[in-house]
Each structure stands twice: as C-alpha cells, then as structure tokens.
A and B are shown apart, each in its own frame.
Chain A
Amino acid sequence: MTPTLVVTSNTPAALTPKRLVSILAFCVVAVVLALLLSKGRPGEPLPQLAGVIGALLLLVPAVFSWHKRAGGAQRPRSWFVAHVLASMLGIVFIAVHLRSGSLWSPPGVVAAAMVFLVLQGVFARSILGRQYARLFARSPAAFSPIPLDRKALAAVIQHKVELLSTLDSTADEGQFSLQWAHWIQSPVLSWRYARLVRKERRMVNAGKAVSPMLRFWRRLHLIAAFVFVTGLIAHVVVMLFFAGYAAGGESPYWWHLSSWGADWGTKQ
C-alpha cells in the first residue's frame, strides 16, 4: 500500500486580523459607552474599583512579556491571546475609571500610552502581518557575491564564542540568545554579548530591505509598554501612598492607604 501523508494544518488562529478588528470595534463601543454612561469622579468607589480591575488586566501583557522570556513558555500563543484580550478589556475598565479625568495630567499620559499600545498592536497584527509575509524572498542579492567582510564577521562571531564560554558554558553560539536569567546573573557579560550581537546584526544587515515601520514597530511597542507599566505603577503608588500630594492640598476623596487605616480605626 502506498504510504499516505498526514498534513499538518496551519495552527488555528485564535486571533485572526478579522477577529482582532472585531474585538477592537467592540472595545471602542464599550469605551464610548463607558465614557458616556459612567458617573462620578475617578476616585469614587465604583470608578476606583474599575480602575483597579483595569490595572490588573493591563498587567497581564507585562506578565506575558516576562513569561515568554523567562524560560517556561509552553503555551505562548495562549498568553499572547490573553495579553490582547486583557488589554482590550482593561481599557474599557480604565475608561470607566477616568471618565472625568483630564488627559493633560500624569495619569492622562499613562492612559494615552495605553490607547497607543492597543491601537498599535491591532495595527501591527491586522496590517503589518501581510508585510511580514512579503518579506519572503526579499533578499535575492544574498545568493549573489556581495561585498561583505567575512573576516571581520568571523572575528565578531569568534568573540561571541569566547564570551559565551564564560556567560553560559553549555550554550552553542549558533543557537544562543540572551535570556532574563543571563541578564540577572551576569549583567556585564550579557551587555557585552548583546553589543556583539548588535554588531553582527549590523554587519549582516538583514533588515536592509525592510521598511522602518516593520523594523521598529515592535521596539516602539516595547518602549511604550514600558512607559505605560511604569506610569501605571507610579500612578498607583502616588494615589495610594501620596494621596495628599495627589489631591493637591485638598482632602483626598478616594480610598487610599491612610484613609483606609483611619476608617478602619474609626469603625473599630
């Protein structure tokens, strides 16, 4: 009997561009409704609760980012989906929270970063995905003689190999890339190794024929995410621990640590 073949299908996409845009549309409607219907100031109990839930949801992407690099990422696609859905849902809760807040305030900058992240993410997945597909066979010149200094490149690779023998003696340079653990355990060596990696990348210049948008969107996404998470944490810390400062001399009307303690003491 002729052996027959089992075809592996493409992995079913949990978030196709079409679905992603649908979710975004749903999210926009929900945000608009939240902005229109929610009442009260951001620190009042219900908006504040929404803010807490939103903040927790918006931390899921950070956890995803950590998780996929930390060494145990068995289901990164599921985490990716979670990061998208949590972001979308988080933004709705935040909309409830900041209904009457000002964008021209420190929390407003955080909110703006949040909106940017969501929109950029959706844009990247729905529009740039096709551009990634177009990268295939973009470098026919790579198959012709090109003026690349192979000796210099070989020296960089050799340097990497030597550094790696100290950084991670079991690793194979050809398949190695820096992980969190390396940065934590040997930050200086990791930094030196990262410099060599960048040098090799510059010499190889694989991104030569790639549009800047495609090359840099992810870096921008990571920077914006860092700004957002930092801002979010700062906002929470200020509102909880420096409520008087945040209230600008007035009496904080929102729940914060000192008032929670005071209230608790009074009630006792």
Chain B
Amino acid sequence: MSRLALSIDLERCTGCKSCEAACKQTNALGPHEYRNRVLWFNENDAKAPRLDFLTVTCQQCERPACLRACPINPKVISKDPITGVVRVDESRCTGCGECALACPYGAIGYDAVGQHAVKCDLCANRREIGDGPACADVCPTQAIKFGQRDVLLEQAKAKDRSVRDHDHYLQGPATIYLDRLSGLWPAADTAPIALLADHEAREPLGSVPAGAPYQHQSKADVPERVVPGGCQICFNSCSLKFHLKGNDVLRIYGNDEDPYFGGRICPKSQMTLQHYRNPHRMLYPKKRVGARGEGQFKRISWAQALDEIADKLRKQREKHGSETLAIHAGTRTGVMNIVGFVPLFAKLWGTLNTATTESFCDASKVIALEQVQGTTCQANVYTEEDIGSAGLYVYIGDNQAETRPVNFGLVNHWRINNSTKMIVVDPRLTATASKADRWFAIRPGTDLALGLALSYHILQNKLHDQAFCSEWMTGWEVWRDWLQEKNYSPDWAAEVCDIVAEDIQWLAEEIAAADGCMLFVSRGINQHSNATQTNRVFMFLAAITGNWGRRGGGYFNVASENNLQHIPVPDDRMASPVRPAVSTNPAAWVNAMGPNAEGEYPITALITSNNPLTQWPDQTRTREALSSLDLLVHLEGFSNETSAYADYVLPIASGIEKGGPSRMAEDRRVIWNDRLIDPPGEVRSDHWIWIELGKRLGFEDILQEDYKDPAVFWDDAFRPANPELHGITIKRLRASPNRCVRAPVAHEDEPEKDTLFLSGSVFFGDKQGRRFPTDSGKLEFYTQEMENRFSAVGLTALPVFYTEPEQLIQLPHLQNSKDKIPVISPFFESPVWQQPVALVEGDGVEATKSNNFDTELVTGRPPAPHFHSWTHFFWQAQEMWPEQYCQMHPEKAQSLGVQDGDRVKIETAHGNVIARAWITTGIRKSAVYIPIGWGERQPFHPAQTANCLTALTLDPPSQQPNLKLHLCRVCRAE
C-alpha cells in the first residue's frame, strides 16, 4: 500500500474554511486547537493583485521532525510503516511542545487546556470505519482529496497539473499541493493578512467553556441514528446528515447521497452544531422592565406573553386601525413561516405591512423577472449538462465563492475541467474574482451603465442572436434603438464605470461569442436604487445573446423562489377594509413611525424576527423610530440589539428543532427537515407562536392547532396553495435520500425537471402552451403596459442610466418628486404606496465632497463562515473571522498612515464605525469595504453594524434599498 496523503488544489481552494470546521467537530477540538488551518494571502502587486489561500496541515513526512524531537521513549509520536501516517498518542503526550517547535511547516497543533500536542492523522477514527478524512469529504470546492499518494500524483499528472515542490527540508512531505494554474504564488516573505494572523483578536474565545460542544464529546458518544435534512442558515439549504444521540446533535456532515453536492458543505452548516446548544440562546419569553435599549427584562410565561401581546394588539387596532401593525418575518425561520403563517395571520388581522428579507436581498430581481419572464422561476440548475456545460462564466456583483461556496465549488470545478473562462466584475477582488481570468474593478453602483454598454456593443456590431431576439423577445428593437439614441456605448460607459472601453468591448464580444454564457448577478446589483433596471438590462443582455432557456447559458440571480403563493383565506375571514401598505420594505416603515410619522396612517406596533437594529439602513433613524413604537415584539434565537428595544422577546426554534423546509435552494430544490430534537428551555417554533397568538385573536379556525406539526401544514395547507409544489409531498420528500425534490412538479410521480424554458417546452402548468408565461408568450422588455407601470413611479420602461446620489463623479440619480402625490405602486399584487421619483444630474456630489467624503464605501457579505448575525454567536466562526474589518487599497492606507491590522474609523453623513484595516490591492483605490453582520451585543467581537453608515434610498419599482454604496471618509482610529 502506498502512503496515504491529502492532495490540496490551490486553484480550487476558496478559503472557505469548511475543512477547519469539519476537523474541529470530528476531532473534538476547541478554540485555538488546530489540525488544519486555512491562511489568506494578498499579493499586493499593484499591477496584478491576487488573493491566494493555503491550507496548512500535517505533511505526514517521511522523516518527521516532530517524531524525532519527541523526548519520550518510546515516542509519543509514531509513523505507520504502511500508510506513512504520523500520529500522536494524546494519552501519553506530556505537552512539552518540542514537536511543535521542530516542525518547519508549523503543522503541529497544541491543546493548551488538555496540555498535549494535536496533529492531523488523516482522521484515523473515520478511516477505521471506511471513511476518509472529514476535511476532504466536506470540501465545497473539491480542493482537498484523499487517497494513496501515488494515485493522487498520477491523477495530477494526467490533468497536467504542476505539483508544488515544498520539500526544502528533505523531510519527504506526503501532502501534495497542486499549484495555481497561473503558476504564481505569494513570495516566501508574504505574510498572511494581519487581521487573520492576530492571535490577540481571538482571546475572547477563551471564555468558551471547554470548546462546547465539540469537547463535550467522548468515546461513548456513538450516534444512535443518522438522519438526512438540510441547513437552515442560508438560501442554499445544503443537504446534510445529522448524527444524533438522544436529544443531542453530535455531528453534522454533508449528505453524501446528494447527487449534486455529494456531501460537500460549507463551514456554516457544520457550525450549526454550535447553534443547537448555544449558551447564548434565549430560552424563555421575556418582558421588558427597563427603558428601551437597556436590555432589562423579566422572565414570564408563554401564556402571559401571548395574552398581553394579543391584548395590546386589540387595543392598537381599536385606536389606530389594524394596518398599524407591521410584521417583518425572518428568512431563517423558514419558508413555511414567511410565505405561510405570517401572511395568513396578516390577512386575518388586516395588515398589508408585512415583509420578509426579500425586500433587502432580491426584490428587484423578483420584480424584473415578473416583468420580463412572467414568473420568478429561474431556468438553470447545477448539473454537468446545464451550468456545467457553459462556455463562459460571468459574475457581476456576485461573490458566489463566499456566499454559496458549494455552488461555486461546482462552477469552479467545471471551469478547471473544461478550461472555461471566468470573468468577474466587482469593486473588490473577492474569493470569486481570485479564480477569474479577468477582474474588472467597476465603480460601485454603475453596473447598469456596464449592462447598457455591453448590450449596445453587441447590437451595434450585430453580435446578437437574431433568431432568439426575433422569436422570443418583445421590444428588443425598441431597446436597440433606444441604446443607439442614448449613445450608451462602451466609450460612454468607460468613464462612468471606470473600466476602459476596450475591456467593455472585449467582455461584450466574449459574452456574444461564448457557446453558452452563465451570467451570475446578485446583491451587488440588487442592493442599489437602480436595481430593477439593472436586472432588466442584464436580462436583456442574456436574452439577446440567446442565453435564456438553454443549457449552459442563462441569467442567474440567487435565489429561485418558485412563484410561491400565499395560502388563501376565505373572503368572510379576511379582515377589511385594509389600507395600502406603507411600503414593502420594512426599512421604509420607519417613515410612518414616531411623532413625525408621514403618510396615511402610522405604524405603532411591530412584530419582527431578524435584527432590524443592525439590518435596516439608517440606524439612527431606525432606532428612534423603533423606540417610539407602542408595541415591539421580537422573535429570535439570540438576544440582540432589537431584543434590547423590544417589549416582549419570544425565543424561537430553528432547523431540526422545529422541522419543515428552511429555504428554497438556489436551484429550485425544496429540502425538508423533520423535527429531530427538542429545542432548549421553553423555546417554541414560530409556527406555534403564530397559532397560539391567532387563537387569542379568534383565528383558530384558519390557524389550526394541527398546523403546529409542520408536515401537516405542508401537506394540508402550504403545498395545495402552490401548484409548483403539488408533487412535493412529505411522503416523497421523506423517501428521497437527500430529503430534496426540485420544483416544479405537478404530482407525486412526476419526475423532477432540470433546465426550464427549453426550446419547444411549455412552462409548467401553462394552459395556453406558452414557453414563457407572459402575455405575449415571449420575454417582454417593452410594452405599453410596462411603460405605464414604470412611468407611474417616475421611470421609463426603456432604461435610463442613473446611480446613487453619493458618487465621486457627477452622475444622474433619482430624487423623490415632492410635488407629486404618492401613488399605488403597479408592481405589487397588493396595494402599496410609492412616492414617484424624478431623474436629476449629480448635484449631490459637492455636498458630500465638501465634508471630505472622498471615498466609496462598499458593504456586503463577509467571508463564508459568516452569514448575517447568527454565526457571530458561534465561537468557531469568530475564530475564523473575528473582527469587523475594512478593506482598503495600500495607496489609500499610506495616505492615511494606516498599517495592516490598524483600527480605522469609517464615517459617512449617517454615522461612523470602527473596524480593523485589511490592506489589499484587491480593491479599487477610491473605495473601502466593510462587511455586514457584526452587532454591538454579540458575545465575542461586538462592533457597530455597517448600517450605521447607510441611508435609506429605495429602488422605485421594487422598493429595495441601496445598501451598497455611500461616500465616506476614513481615518486612523485613536
């Protein structure tokens, strides 16, 4: 038998740290204990900035320095003569540390609590039962492979991959590193980014009691059962296997029976182990006894909490009307809650002021898809035949590697295997961009201009798919003429986007020439006040190049909603009359709160999940507004800023504590969780809360008692209301080895569909036999009805370029037309107020410049281990990425006298935030970036939310706010 080894492909690794998570849970490691660790490197070459990742783990050396350094006789460290695996016998190790000092690769860890060395033994325990190392099994990008060293080397040779020679010390390392395809790698004197190398930043993790829950495991902890299910953290809902013993989750791995992901998962799924028994969970209902924001509460019973809330709601209704209650549902509470229970309750109660987080994430895409395609179902799926067969991958404002690591792992795998080109447009060199052939550091907020110019160039040069345009697009010629008339050329866009015209032309030609281009766009374009138009323009670009309704080509904007419908309520049970909603965006509800409330009626009561007091823009105003409410009820798992302001705090269950589907996966898959464990304390599912509250308000005939069982609610109420889910019965979901079924399916026996809208196909359930369920049966870009809709809110169906008011150069933007009265938006099914807008030139620039706001502030998602606020309660996620940070260019840093890792103050017209500097050439010189998710009341690394820096500006059609771009100034923090 040849030596066993890991092969680590540096071209595939995206630095997600899933391997670290797998290692710690498998080997019961606590904070500061490592058997593997992923380092991030910037290569700050101004001409060719790079971002690289290195997984450090034991090299299983032929001549192990650690073994030779061990002073104990017989040695505590041993080398298997057959497999070559080097192991440490922790039960005999006295913790002298000589091995750690001797290893030139720095690959020996140390348990400072247990006082002994720790090191990778390629998961000896797992190998004993026929598994491989956990890191290799979970790796989302397939960067880590395990096997016989000779075989791995043969495989690398067969693929013409260069194997790194790092045997400088002649120790014969077995671990294989496959070089980047470019052959480039950081020089030996390149240090990892200071933020990640700083051990002091991780000192707060010392408070974690013995590395809970991993170190609580013992040899006796043999799982009694392994049950498939899904992750509840993000919209990817990766399929998992829960290893359970009694009421405890021992481990969480990927589901190796999943035909697409094959058991590959990101670190977040695994770290939900730290969610279920987290010491920071809220366990009981509480009532505020101090002033708002003080966080003074007393424990009360559920009965008291719900009785009092119901009583206060009734009084509110009598005083102000039912619409004065607003409900903001959190997405991690699951799709049955946000599309099922909350709308049901709202209809029975009589308010249209309900929202999910869609209004922050992708409402603009939803509106654009409805306009263009007639349905929100997205065509493409992550199969070899579909997305895997693309001739080009273009990412615009989508950092998929860090937001959906498993999906990106697939795309990156296809990119490498098929030598497919990848292009990324983003103000930052993200982990996604680090794998791209070209990276364009676009001026934030100007993607609309880029899309217009790309379309212009393609049409001008007749590079479009004439057949598709003629047969399947309505209004494309009108757009063509419009682009011509407005002269939205690459030359025009070059200055706007800060990308040279030749590059725009090149990109357009690449897209047009590709045999299938997958155009990925996401929050980078969605979270702008021009988002609906930008989405429409990129849809247009995809369509004119024939990248719609085909395998290997398409427009993709996460996530795919499957046209979910609310459960109908009998007319005689609907509350009426109901005044129009203040807004579909909860952040705009603040305008109707407090003593200076605007609009037809005030909002005086709010039931909310999530954490509005970090999530909503313009925190100063939001906090004033929420302080003024008569009733604020907070449903959450952890106590956060919003809890501190709430009158009642209701602890909610999540994932396998409550059961049900979490989110619809990115490629239309429904993933079911059974209720597998009891929640801690008196925690209840939000389903239970809505039903119990409903009972107290007389809604028990609709919000029925037996709906507390999620399977009953799904089969009896939710599924029947959604034709696309008709075939996804609980029976079918439970019969599936990965608990997944892809929508749409009409009945239980109908096979799942992969790519939708293929040529010659009829859209699901369309009785008129149309390929696209629009009035014309084609993709619609311009119709008179459409023009009427856009003009009602002050826009035109033909896209005009505009951006955010805060830009470093003079560019057009929107202003509310104060002289026009609010209208009912034509873009929503239910009536919603909308203030019409008008286009103005960039007169806001001087105002911001005069305040020395000389820098573009870009915000967005942090790296893969984090997702909004929950992961900040997981110690391991904090260990991976501890502190709030601010990326900036070396030239910017130099001008400010800032060193890598220093604390800096970022200030906008709306507030300021302190963060640690991460200096990198992988960002525009004129921009800084800070991630979202940190909050002031988090346990390990509290920090002000990025939304202390943002203001409220809405995209008129979708009412989605700009969260991405503001002007700021930066200085060293004292």
Stretch at the interface among B69-77, B411-419, B914-922: B69-77
Distance of B486 from chain A, by nearest CB (Å) = 51
Contact across chains for A9 and B218 when beta carbons are under 8 A apart: yes
With A4-B243, A142-B166 already in contact, the answer to whether A69 and B112 are too (CB < 8 A) is: no
Contact across chains for B105 and A6 when beta carbons are under 8 A apart: no
Contact across chains for B126 and A5 when beta carbons are under 8 A apart: yes
Across the interface, which residues of B come within 8 angstroms of A140, CB to CB? 39, 41, 54, 56, 106, 186, 190-192
* Chain B CB within 8 A of A125 CB: yes
With A8-B125, A129-B95 already in contact, the answer to whether A17 and B34 are too (CB < 8 A) is: no
Question: In this complex, which of B75, B92, B125, B168 has the most chain A Cβ atoms within 10 angstroms of its Cβ?
Answer: B168
With A4-B222, A136-B106, A206-B102 already in contact, the answer to whether A218 and B97 are too (CB < 8 A) is: yes
Distance of B221 from chain A, by nearest CB (Å) = 6
Contact across chains for A6 and B125 when beta carbons are under 8 A apart: yes
Please report the C-alpha to C-alpha distance between residue A2 and residue B75 in the assembled complex, in whole angstroms. 36
Contact across chains for B226 and A69 when beta carbons are under 8 A apart: no
Contact across chains for A8 and B108 when beta carbons are under 8 A apart: no
Interface residues of A, count at CB 8 A: 69
Contact across chains for A142 and B39 when beta carbons are under 8 A apart: no
Across the interface, which residues of A come within 8 angstroms of B191, CB to CB? 140
Q: How does the 8 Å CB contact mask read for A162-205 relative to B, with 1 for contact and 0 for none?
A: 00000000000111110110000000000000000100010011
Partner of A135, one of B30, B108, B126: B108
| Smallest Cβ-Cβ distance to B57: which chain A residue | A137
Contact across chains for B68 and A176 when beta carbons are under 8 A apart: yes
Contact across chains for B95 and A68 when beta carbons are under 8 A apart: no
With A132-B110, A157-B170 already in contact, the answer to whether A177 and B70 are too (CB < 8 A) is: yes
Please report the C-alpha to C-alpha distance between residue A68 and residue B75 in the assembled complex, in whole angstroms. 9
Within residues 55 to 93 of chain B, which ones have a CB less than 8 A from any CB in chain A? 56, 61-65, 67-76, 79, 90-93
Distance of A181 from chain B, by nearest CB (Å) = 9
Q: How does the 8 Å CB contact mask read for B830-841 relative to A, with 1 for contact and 0 for none?
A: 000000000000
With A71-B74, A144-B187 already in contact, the answer to whether A5 and B37 are too (CB < 8 A) is: no
Please report the C-alpha to C-alpha distance between residue A51 and residue B49 in the assembled complex, in whole angstroms. 69
Partner of A218, one of B63, B93, B96, B243: B96
* Chain A CB within 8 A of B104 CB: yes
* Chain B CB within 8 A of A214 CB: yes
With A135-B110, A140-B54 already in contact, the answer to whether A175 and B168 are too (CB < 8 A) is: no
* Chain A CB within 8 A of B27 CB: yes
* Chain B CB within 8 A of A261 CB: no
Question: DSSP majority for the B interface?
Answer: loop
Interface residues of B, count at CB 8 A: 90
Contact across chains for B71 and A68 when beta carbons are under 8 A apart: yes
Please report the C-alpha to C-alpha distance between residue A255 and residue B339 in the assembled complex, in whole angstroms. 91
Contact across chains for B106 and A129 when beta carbons are under 8 A apart: no
Across the interface, which residues of A come within 8 angstroms of B63, CB to CB? 157, 173-175
Contact across chains for A137 and B74 when beta carbons are under 8 A apart: no
Across the interface, which residues of B come within 8 angstroms of A23, CB to CB? none
Across the interface, which residues of A come within 8 angstroms of B118, CB to CB? 10
Contact across chains for A8 and B102 when beta carbons are under 8 A apart: no
Across the interface, which residues of A come within 8 angstroms of B94, CB to CB? 68, 76-77, 79-80
With A9-B28, A76-B92, A214-B97 already in contact, the answer to whether A4 and B106 are too (CB < 8 A) is: no
Question: In this complex, which of B27, B100, B186 has the most chain A Cβ atoms within 10 angstroms of its Cβ?
Answer: B100
* Chain B CB within 8 A of A103 CB: no
* Chain A CB within 8 A of B667 CB: no
Distance of A160 from chain B, by nearest CB (Å) = 10
Contact across chains for B110 and A175 when beta carbons are under 8 A apart: no
* Chain B CB within 8 A of A15 CB: yes
Stretch at the interface among A34-42, A109-117, A148-156, A224-232: A148-156
Contact across chains for B39 and A137 when beta carbons are under 8 A apart: yes
Contact across chains for B166 and A125 when beta carbons are under 8 A apart: no
Q: Give me 9 A-to-B residue pairs in the complex whose CB atoms sit less than 8 angstroms apart, sorted by A's number.
A: A5-B125, A72-B73, A74-B92, A132-B112, A134-B199, A135-B97, A135-B106, A144-B186, A218-B97
Q: Which 8 A-B pairs have the closest CB atoms?
A: A174-B63, A129-B112, A139-B106, A132-B110, A141-B188, A138-B106, A144-B188, A206-B104
**Chain A residues proximal to chain B, CB less than 8 Å:** 2-13, 15-17, 68-77, 79-80, 125, 128-130, 132-146, 148, 150, 153-154, 157, 173-177, 179-180, 197, 201, 204-207, 209-210, 214-215, 218
